[in-house]
Amino acid sequence: MVLSRRDRGRTRGNGARRTPRVGIDRPPAHPRLVRGRRVSDPLSGLDEQQRQAASVLRGPVCVLAGAGSGKTRVITHRIAHGVDTGAYSPGRVMAVTFTAKAAGEMRGRLRSLGVGGVAARTFHAAALAQLNYFWPQLAGDSAPTILSGKVRVLAQAADTVGLNADPATLRDVAARIEWRKVTMRSIEDYARERPDAVGHLSLDAVVALQEAYEKLKDERRQLDFEDVLLACAGMLEAEPRVVAAVREQYRHFTVDEFQDVSPVQNRLLELWLGDRHDLCVVGDASQTVYSFAGADPRYLLDFGSRFPDARVLRLERNYRSEATVVAVANALMRGRPGALELQPQRDAPDNPRPRVTAYDDDAAEADGVAGAIAAQLAGGADPRSIAVLYRANAQSAPILAALSRRGIAASVLGGKRFFDLPEVRQAVMALRGASVAPATSDLVADVRAVLASLGLTEEPPAAGGPLRESWEARAALLRLAEEAPAGTSLRAFTDDLQARAKDQHEIPTRTVTLSTLHAAKGLEWPHVHLVGLSEGLLPISYATSFEHVDEERRLAYVGITRAALTLSLSWARTSGRHERQVSRFVREIGTSTLDAGGARPSAGRRPPSAGSRSGSRPSPAR
């Protein structure tokens, strides 16, 4: 593909120019020193499987890492080992992951190992950095701006072609555009492969709307989120000197969560690599839950075929969950393609088995889960150690209400990041200001005084509402001060807060967490309540093909493997006037690893047994 000077970065069949920043990162003078002292051997403290994976420094390497097996530890210790032995120069290493939070965590772990200068980024951040760096050199003008969202531009595009579309329809069209771009399809390809209407819009109308959307972006010199990847790939394909510079800069690649790679991300990775094979990928096919966004686990599962000389290693020892939880996870995924057989760190035959409980309706389920959480709190559990997980956002409302009636504070995952909360930003600024004045030698007292001036009281407000949320956020900052090493100054403490904010480090407030299964991926809690395990909710009602049901199974697996100590499953027999059946996933797991709960059924109605048909696997919905 050859680009004109004006259209540098335009990619095949997309009809839109794309964007830019890849700086040339320089390694620090002393990459393995932390505060003047040398860091110990990065391979120490790893188990045999982890050590083996971290010791193979030349690619291609594929690490199949089961849930809770310490994959981030392996990734960071492998890079540190490469730097320590001189095999890697930090500035020539790129570690790629899928969320800014995960990239920040990776940078923080590398810093703790004494390694600085590694480019730990998301695919989008890396592509945008390269575009911003090279665009002015190629095009001679400023880079296009990035859209914050598609719906508003789609609405304006609809006006230009005389279409009337409501916000829900526009959001659906936006999702179709995202799928088209991450799978590297043109609008013409889309029309052939997905010839269905969207809401009241016919296929012709959807195509016209997409064309108008791309035209409007071009006229305004704007790019959307997916354009960034396409533009970077187009630039590397079209400009030999650019791809040569990038390949000279980065010699060693590590990709986390490789099961979630989309076709356009895989193409970008191929362009970064060229004919080199110094690549390490890490992933778990059983945690592929973003197929709707273009994720394709075949890149992970077929890695050995694509690179015949690859080392394929397995991490199957689970360090997170009790044996009883691991048994449930293994039972759900047994026989699935690419599934790993998790091995618990320790056997605990006396541990209570996870329990599945049937409730009469959604309100009864919410109240029952809230009661179970209240009992856990009364038994000494920290609210931060408890999570309620569900398939769809709408399921959170009755649970929040039930918790509030019992005076239990809860927060929903997926809101603003901790350091973006207004009260946290205000507190960090106030603490920074106080750090320039003479302070006492008591960090906790100094922090408490500043936070008290902003509204932190000794006792929290009533559960629920903005006041309680603000109190919890300030209290979390005070706990950080209480956990700081002895002798930490107020200035050093605020420096650490700013570093955490830069790395998007999340600080858990002292509340019970509510989260969708998608948002919970990559997290863990000692106590997990997985709700809504009925047909139509998990698997979701629109999962009608074998592939879609399999993705729903993987979502359930993600939820189960978030639990460290205790796991409870529940479902409701009715929703309004509609009766439900227990999820096929509960039946597949069976009574060998689950106990049935003791919720009383409605009079005259007998609930299906959690273990019914446990000896067979029902066929996926057709």
CA–CA distance, 158 with 171 (Å, rounded to integer): 13
DSSP state of 466: H
Whether residue 10 has pLDDT greater than 60 = no
Bind-site residues for ATP? 65-72
148 has a pLDDT exceeding 90 = no
Q: Where are the alpha helices (DSSP H) in 15-147?
A: 48-55, 71-84, 100-112, 123-139
pTM score, whole prediction: 0.75
Say which residue, 118 or 59, is predicted with more confidence.
Answer: 118
SS3 571: strand
On whether both 267 and 121 belong to a single domain, the answer is yes
Q: Residues with Cβ < 8 Å from 415, sequence gap 6 or more?
A: none
Please tell me the predicted confidence (pLDDT) of residue 617.
Answer: 32
- Is residue 476 a part of any domain in this protein? yes
16, part of any domain: no
Mean pLDDT of 547-555: 91
Q: What is the pLDDT of residue 466?
A: 56
492 in the same domain as 358 = no
Q: Which of 205-209, 210-214, 405-409, 416-420 has the lowest mean pLDDT?
A: 416-420
Whether 3 is in a domain gets the answer no
- Choosing from 502, 526, 541, the residue where a domain stops is 502
| Rounded CA separation 238/365 (Å) | 57
| Cα radius of gyration rounded to whole Å, the chain | 26
**Do 408 and 335 belong together in one domain?**
yes
pLDDT recorded at residue 508 = 62
Within-domain flag for 194: yes
At 401, the pLDDT band (50, 70, 90 cuts) reads confident
pLDDT at 7 over 60: no
The residue-averaged pLDDT of 224-228 equals 92
Instruction: Show which of 200, 220, 240 is a domain's final residue.
Output: 220
Please report the pLDDT score of residue 67 as a whole number: 92
What is the chain's mean pLDDT, rounded? Answer: 82
Evaluate whether residue 604 is within a structural domain: no
Digit-coded pLDDT (tens) for 354-368: 999 999 988 899 999
Does residue 331 share a domain with residue 185? no
Last residue of a domain, one of 220, 238, 271: 220
Residues 329 and 554: their CA atoms lie apart, in Å, by 10
Annotated binding site: 65-72
Structural domain count of the chain = 4
Q: What stretches of 463-604 adopt beta strand conformation (E)?
A: 512-516, 525-530, 563-575, 578-579, 595-596
- The residue-averaged pLDDT of 382-406 equals 87
pLDDT, position 33 = 47
Q: Does residue 116 sit in the same domain as residue 243?
A: yes
528 in a structural domain: yes
CB 73 within 8 A of CB 93: no
- Label residue 348 by pLDDT band (50, 70, 90): low
Query: What is the reported pLDDT for 505?
Result: 60
In sequence order, the β-bridge partners of residue 282 are 63
Residues 516 and 401 in one domain: yes
Site of tokens 């909360």: 421
User: Is residue 253 assigned to a domain?
Assistant: yes
| Residue 562 pLDDT class (50, 70, 90 cuts) | very high
> Rounded to the nearest 5 degrees, what angle is found at the Cα of 150, between the Cα atoms of 174 and 121?
95
Is the pLDDT at 527 greater than 60, yes or no? yes
Is the pLDDT at 464 greater than 60? The verdict is: no
Q: Do 592 and 528 belong to one domain?
A: yes
Least confident of 145-149, 201-205, 309-313, 597-601: 597-601
The candidate with the shortest Cα–Cα distance to 242, out of 95, 140, 144, 135, is 135
Domain range for 238 is 33-127+230-315
Q: Answer yes or no: do 393 and 539 share one domain.
A: yes
Is there a single domain that holds both residue 517 and residue 400? yes
Residue with token string 């956002």: 393
Contact indicator for 273, 279 with CB cutoff of 8 Å? yes
User: What tokens were used for 304?
Assistant: 């050995």
- Whether residue 318 is predicted with pLDDT greater than 70 in this model: the reply is yes
Looking up residue 518, the CATH number of its domain turns out to be: 3.40.50.300
- The predicted pLDDT at position 30 comes to 40
